[in-house]
């Protein structure tokens, strides 16, 4: 693969690629070494490497022109995570500790359709199993990112061309029909990402939940990680256990508006350390 350019990105509050990759928001990053990942996104492949001010990005795919604006947006340079980590109430020792531990986690601005599909796949699956199914889906379509051996994420039109047997071979199980129906909704124009992007938070989630197999958890994750609605606080079994242990079952959302989603990521990152 030929390197076409190098982009330097400055990030307020820094980034820890390992912690971000392990935070359950993205499923296609490829580990190269500590602090270095190959990342397929938006039809391109980059190699992201941490440095003391942010990231050095090598563009590994064949691409035309500079994509500095794209990658600045993808890694959320506009948000100062250092300030957000200071938000937890001084009396909330758990959240203060989680935020400190979560230093370097950022909410990545992913493609909304890819985010939606991957979180439909994620239902009742472990993270390794999710990654395997996502890669099999990409391979089933078989379109590689130009100049690389990495498969691009499929479009809605490409997904609906896959038959049920092919989808089943991707390990999707009962989710196969959900994936096909969701792709069809976008391919035939019943759903439109531009229109969804223009909706307020409530309208966005309500619209997403009209899709087959999309409940509040998948809709909230898609809103947070695909549409960058940072106030969403998705609740899975791990988060609910933390809420039960430390907040009598309900997180104080009013305290951390408009960054509840980032607080959720800090809590998720320490899920294995919580004494339930």
Instruction: Give me the long-range contacts of 267-272 (CB less than 8 A, separation at least 24).
Output: 267/95, 267/98, 267/239, 267/242, 268/23, 268/24, 268/238, 268/239, 269/19, 269/22, 269/23, 269/98, 269/101, 269/102, 269/105, 270/97, 270/98, 270/101, 270/102, 271/238, 271/239, 271/241, 271/242
CA distance 228 to 224: 5
* Adjacency order of strands within the sheet including 54-59: 5-10, 54-59, 44-51, 36-41, 30-33
How many other CB atoms are found less than 10 A from the CB of residue 53?
12
Q: Are 48 and 30 in contact (CB under 8 A)?
A: no
Residue 93 bears catalytic tag: no
- How far is Cα of residue 187 from the mean position of the Cα atoms in its chain? 22
Tokens at residue 109, please?
């601005």
Q: Are 130 and 139 in contact (CB under 8 A)?
A: no
N- to C-terminal Cα distance for the chain? 47
Of the residues 86, 212, 217, 255, only one is catalytic, namely: 217
The answer for 14, left when phi > 0, alpha when psi is -120 to 50, beta otherwise, is: left
Q: Say how many residues make up the chain.
A: 276
Q: Does the CA dihedral 118-84-260-203 come out positive or negative?
A: negative
Residues annotated as catalytic (active site), given as ranges: 217
């Amino acid at each position: 693969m030929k390197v076409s350019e190098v982009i330097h990105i400055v990030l307020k509050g820094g980034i820890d690629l390992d912690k971000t990759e392990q935070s359950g928001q993205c499923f296609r990053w490829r580990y190269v070494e500590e602090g270095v990942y190959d990342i397929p996104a938006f039809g391109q492949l980059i190699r992201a490497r941490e440095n003391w001010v942010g990231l050095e990005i090598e563009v590994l795919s064949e691409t035309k022109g500079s994509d500095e604006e794209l990658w600045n947006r993808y890694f959320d340079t506009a948000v100062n995570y250092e300030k957000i980590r200071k938000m937890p109430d001084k009396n909330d020792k758990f959240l203060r500790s989680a935020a400190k531990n979560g230093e370097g986690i950022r909410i990545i601005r992913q493609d909304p359709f890819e985010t939606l599909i991957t979180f439909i796949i994620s239902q009742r699956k472990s993270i390794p199993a999710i990654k395997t199914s996502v890669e099999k889906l990409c391979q089933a379509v078989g379109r590689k990112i130009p100049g690389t051996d990495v498969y691009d994420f499929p479009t809605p039109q490409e997904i609906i061309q896959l038959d049920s047997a092919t989808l089943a071979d991707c390990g999707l199980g009962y989710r196969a029909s959900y994936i096909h129906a969701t792709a069809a909704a976008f391919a035939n124009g019943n759903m439109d990402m531009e229109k969804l992007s223009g909706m307020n938070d409530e309208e966005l989630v309500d619209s997403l939940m009209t899709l087959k197999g999309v409940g509040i958890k998948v809709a909230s994750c898609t809103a947070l990680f695909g549409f960058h609605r940072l106030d969403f606080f998705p609740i899975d079994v791990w988060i609910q256990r933390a809420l039960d242990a430390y907040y009598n079952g309900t997180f104080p959302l009013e305290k951390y508006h408009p960054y509840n989603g980032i607080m959720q990521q800090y809590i998720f990152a320490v899920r294995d350390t919580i004494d339930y």
